[in-house]
Amino acid sequence: MSEKESTAESGEPTPPPLPEAQNETPDGNQGTEEKKFPFEGAKPEEMFPKEVPQENESGSQEYEDADFAEPDKSETESLPQPVAIARADALVTNKKNTSAKASDHPPLKLKPEKGLTPSGLPKLPKGRFADRELSWLAFNQRVFEQAQDKRLQLLERAWFLTIYCSNLDEFYMVRVAGLKRRIAAGFATVSSSGLTPRQLEGEISRRSHEMTENVYRYFQEVIRPELDKSGLVITNWESLDDTQKDALHRYFRNKVFPILSPLAIDPSHPFPFISGLALNLAILVRNPSTGKDHFARLKVPPVLPRFVPLTKDGVENDPSGKILAGEKVNFVPIEQVISAHLDHLFPGMEIVESHEFRVTRNEDLEVEEDDAENILTAMESELAKRRFGPAVRLEVTEDMPSYILDFLTENLEVGPSDVFRLAAPLDLRGLNYLHDLDIPQLKYRPYVPVTPAGLAEKESSKSQDIFASIRAHDVLIHLPYDSFATSVQQFIVQAAHDPNVLAIKQTLYRTSGDSPIVQALIDAARAGKQVVAIVEIKARFDEEANIGWARKMERVGVHVVYGMVGLKTHCKLCLVVRQEPDGLKRYCHVGTGNYHPKTARGYEDLGLLTVDRDVAQDLTRLFNQLSGYAPRSTFHRLLVAPRSIRDGLIAGIEKEIANKKAGKPAWILFKANSIVDERMTDALYRASQAGVPVEVQVRGICSLKPGIPGLSENIHVVSILGRFLEHSRIYAFANDGDPQVWIGSADLMHRNLDRRVEALVRIVDKDQINYLIELVRKGVADTTSSWRLMPDQQWVRVKTNESGLRLEDIQGTLMAKASSRVVGRSRS
């Protein structure tokens, strides 16, 4: 029986033939003669030259099984056995083995490789790298598990669901879109995990579907009922009484109807362009005169609130007070309000049915910088094209009939595996609307950061002389426990208004639209200071904002440099040159996080304020390299990518191996957002084989497979998620009793080590070295609550010890310690 016959027998209306799609395309600049730049720009390899490649002493192979290896098998074959990749069930969300004992998780068995590397070491087994994309999905699963933690306040749990959904949106917009593009172009190759591109695409789809269905089910079955009990009732239109509907009729006529634009689809109205991530209604209307059915699409304007709050007094913009007073407030999804009033938009037509849907598009930008006269102009042109990227995912409500779904998939050109059928309401990012309400008992207890101990003996409303503090000693800042406003921000603001400051040089990757940092640079330029801002306009999804405030700075005389061709400038640096009685002094800040006041309150990061001559000389040389031509720069206390970070860290690992073999103390402590780079991973495997304990705290992607006999039994990997996003990077080595510790902007990924300008600074103050070592040791300790990567490659959350007592919440401990520095503040 055909689909058409089936729907006719079931009583559903038989849809008429619908018109073919004719997608819009962005306006081009055809016919305009291209202007050629008369001089050649410097290439990344010229500005950051590397030494002639030597034999890799860590024994790393040539990565014939890595990302750039050509496939030698059919892409249609079944998934490889666990020998080649992490076990197929490693991310299954209903996994049964949640034991916190590593002995309960049998390790993977990897087949040994025969032969030696060019340096004479035994080859490491294939299948030793966990897949990057699947590891990322495991990270997002941990985000979902955080939402399931009943110890957290309800709106915070809902907030973690929004993070899960937002993360997955970006994953599809960038990673999945890129994979699909490479497959279509025939350039996709076998990944370092051993998966062919088609296999990886299928596994991503399978796991994404399963995880997302679980997220939506958890929202419907757990979070939504608990919200109801707390007075936040997400209510369907059908459940409202007549009085409530009348209030929403008035709201629709006054606030919604004037801004809606229904789009009919017929031979004179081709299928419209559906913008990415927007919520839409697919509408079927019938002409009562002819009996013919017609299709229309309506975009839900993003300027409207995701939910309409309805109290007993009618619609209220902020019902927080009513909820705090014990009143139950109905929150009606805006798409349901619109659906109930479609007759206003199609007068004279019969509304047959309507269903929500949402499209995700490829929104990764590709700027051909080598051919662009101006990076800024090229980026602005590419931003105009972003919304026209091909569709990579379609989310629809589970009750959408097949003939409407078929029409959408045909016109959007998405396959069945890219369709997600989910329970309404779609797009759980809308729960942010509820999280923004002022209901303290349903959210984290407020935390007020404190001034770093090295900048002030006690909290004060008066600004301290920050330059005097830095002259006295290096200052280590630990955000968000320490205050960004009274440390990094104050450093730059004081520099802008200090008449003795002659110059400020600053890198900017992401910052807020009303950033006091940008305003301080503008004030400094207006005061006649020399101000240089290295602005990365290729910072993903912040490109347009960065262009806006970069142009604003240019207009007042800030020397704005738009990064380097071929490289993203991701390092976090600020250099202030000040005239003092004994000559010029250079004050420096090197950090792990962005100069962004908002994220500084929610991201865990580190920064160093120093007047050390070596660091000052390093920053001076690096800024000259970024804004001018200085390819032969050398550095004292910095490691700088793409030139020296990978080699510098591998040298530290190899020294630990040598010390271990010599019977000396040896250990490695790493804390990072992601670890993917194969050469770094292999170096850590070699260290484990030599008996060096390797402790790793990683928030996101991890290509390491710990606990495998003969390869990684000395590697221990944990992940911590919590109130704050763990964002700092720390790389520490025992160094024969004289520990060496680096902090900075670089994760251990190809993009950080090869395609970005990154900087790590070596910490020299003994107390600061000890603090950072203890920070990582506490993070990876068995007494700390965390997720642990088991030998079978499953992530297991461990919140209690064998006696059932709660393990330490490291973020809670750090908040309490920081607050204890303030007289009279509670330490609980």
Active site amino acids = 570
In angstroms, the Cα distances linking 195 to 67, 327, 704 are 10, 54, 16
Q: 350-361 and 279-286 as β-strands: parallel, antiparallel, unpaired?
A: antiparallel
DSSP state letters, 394-430: EEEETT--HHHHHHHHHHHT--GGGEEEEPSSP-GGG
Summarize the chain as % helix, strand, coil (round to 5): 35, 20, 45
Calculate ∠ Cα 287-293-299, nearest 5°. 100
- Among candidates 244, 259, 260, 256, which has minimal Cα distance to 315? 244
Q: What is the dihedral of CA 342, 347, 352, 358, to 10 degrees?
A: -40
Cβ burial 564-592 (10 Å sphere, 16+ → b, else e)? bebbbbbbbbbbbbbeeeeeebbbbbbbb
The total number of residues shown for the chain amounts to: 828
**Locate tokens 């915070």: which residue?**
156
Cα four-point dihedral sign 192, 196, 200, 203: negative
Q: What is the dihedral of CA 318, 323, 328, 333, to 10 degrees?
A: 30
211 contacts 140 by C-beta, under 8 angstroms: yes
Q: Concatenated DSSP letters for 575-596? A: EEEEEETTEEEEEEEEESS-S-
CA distances, 551 to each of 206, 337, 528, 535 (Å): 44, 41, 18, 10
The owner of tokens 């600074």 is 761
Q: How far is CA 334 from CA 243, 339, 371, 423, 500, in A?
A: 18, 9, 46, 16, 56
Question: ∠ at Cα 486 (448, 488), nearest 5°?
Answer: 120
Q: Residue 450's closest CA among 798, 814, 707?
A: 814
* 287 marked as binding residue: no
Any known ligand binding at 411?
no
Q: Is 158 helix (H, G, I), strand (E, B) or coil?
A: helix
540 is annotated as contributing to ligand binding = yes
Please list, in sequence order, all residues whose beta carbon lies within 8 angstroms of the beta carbon of residue 221, skipping any fewer than 6 positions away: none
**Six-digit token string for 579:** 């005239």
**Could you give the CA distance from residue 593 to residue 481 in angstroms, rounded to a whole number?**
14
727 is in an annotated binding site: yes
What number of other Cβ atoms are within 10 A of residue 312's Cβ? 13
- Give the contacts of 782 (CB within 8 A, at least 6 positions apart): none
The answer to whether the CB of 691 falls within 8 A of the CB of 669 is no
Q: Which amino acid is at 302?
A: P
Q: Which two tokens stand for residue 83?
A: 């020998």
State how far the Cα of 443 lies from the Cα of 747, in Å rounded to an integer: 31
What residue has token string 């040389």?
621
Helix or strand (DSSP H, E) at 471 = helix 466-472
Annotated binding residue at 699? yes
Distance separating alpha carbons of residues 24 and 314, to the nearest angstrom: 41
The annotation status of 578 as a binding-site residue, yes or no, is no
d(CA 566, CA 641): 13
- Whether residue 24 contacts residue 361, with contact meaning beta carbons closer than 8 Å, is answered with no
Rounded-to-integer distance, Cα 300 and Cα 278, Å: 7
Binding residues: 167, 510, 540, 603, 699, 727
Binding residues for Mg(2+): 510, 540
Binding residues for ATP: 167, 603, 699, 727
